[in-house]
Amino acid sequence: MRVLMLRPQARLDVGDSAGWYEDQKAGLGIRFLDEIDRVLSRAQVNPFQFPEIDPGVRRGLQSVLEATNSQ
């Protein structure tokens, strides 16, 4: 399994986003964080399932936003 590294700014963005979602609807921030965890777990197992946007950088959070916004 690969080591997954989140940049400090990404960690801050996730926290801010979870707060925003929670402000929109009770429980939505928790669901957002659950989706983040799910996608990050998938990325650790198989990072190549996500498109490479820069050398060594892959995008995987699009599905988190879609899953959260559809609720």
Secondary-structure percent of the chain, ordered helix, strand, coil, rounded to 5? 65, 5, 30
Helices 8-24 and 28-45, packing angle to 10 deg: 140
The 3-state DSSP class for residue 1 equals coil
| Span 10-68, pLDDT tens digits | 889 999 999 999 999 999 999 999 999 988 888 888 888 888 888 877 777 655 545 44
pTM for the structure as a whole:
0.70
- Give the pLDDT band (50/70/90) at residue 71: low
